[in-house]
Amino acid sequence: MLAKVETLKKSLLGMKRVLIAYSGGVDSTYLLYLALETLGKDNVLAVIAESPTYPVEEVKSAIETADVLKIGCRQIRTEEFADENFLCNSKERCYYCKKELFEKLKAVANDNGIEFLLDGSNYDDLSDYRPGSRAKAEFGVRSPLQEVGLKKDEIRQLSQKAGLPTWDKPSMACLASRIPYGRRIDDEILRMVGEGEKYLRSIGFGQLRVRHHDSIARIEVDRDSVAQLMEQKVMDGIVKKFEELGYVYVTLDLKGYRSGSMNEGF
């Protein structure tokens, strides 16, 4: 693992100046930390994208983490809702979302004379269906953590050792990933999903997803958390909240949380 970090440092040194697509998650935070340690603050630009697909509280948390690292965080706004290719939610949705993001980030990089645009993809991401990788290739985006073979668990260990507050942060993804392919994306669905997940986190659940199936909410939590969710008082509170959000049925996925469950079966 430490050999991978040394290789990563050498790679960053060769780039000299970088723009990092920063979300405040485990991976991009560690990449930002190591880039600052290796290149210095003057050679690193962290940029976070605001979007209806990304919870406001996550943006706020990312900025607070950037403050801990003593670096300013540039904010931009992406406009994927202006792209019908994104809204129709085909299996290529992630490509159009990432294309919009990287196009905006590339413009910022060019304006600041920065050649290298980096994201926080890790080695484990290669095992899932990720059409956004095509957009990375088109815009020349590098994924240094992935390139040196760093896996999620390793990045968490390294983050804990470095004292980063994100080391045990649950994985987060675009809220649009909670909607089955073919179901048109709109603000109301994202609101329902976002508020549902926010409520579950507020009552003590960490790694989770709320999958939207029209009138049905399919909740995924870690298997270790299933017993907690099945407590009568907890279930009653969840049902009440989710009905207020507009769901008719509230279900628990017995397979538990797994990243990319909407990609299963193809």
Percent of the chain with pLDDT over 90: 89
Closest listed residue to residue 58, CA positions, set 73, 80, 43, 42: 73
Which has the minimum average pLDDT: 37-51, 117-131, 211-225?
117-131
What are the tokens at 37?
């340690």
Closest listed residue to residue 203, CA positions, set 242, 256, 155, 161: 242
Quick one: pLDDT band at residue 16, thresholds 50, 70, 90? very high
216-246 pLDDT, tens digit each: 999 999 999 999 999 999 999 999 999 999 9
Residue 266 has pLDDT above 70, yes or no: no
Q: Which residues, other chains included, contact 9 with Cβ-Cβ below 8 Å and sequence gap of 6+?
A: 34, 38
Residue ranges in 128-186 assigned as alpha helix (H): 132-139, 144-147, 152-161
- Rg (C-alpha) for the chain, rounded Å, is 19
Please give the Cα distance from 108 to 95 (Å, whole number).
20
Quick one: pLDDT band at residue 127, thresholds 50, 70, 90? confident
Reported pTM: 0.93
Q: How far is CA 175 from CA 29, 145, 227, in A?
A: 20, 24, 26
Residue with tokens 């193809």: 266
What pLDDT sits at residue 155? 98
All domains in the chain, ordered by first residue: 2-161 (3.40.50.620), 175-263 (3.30.70)
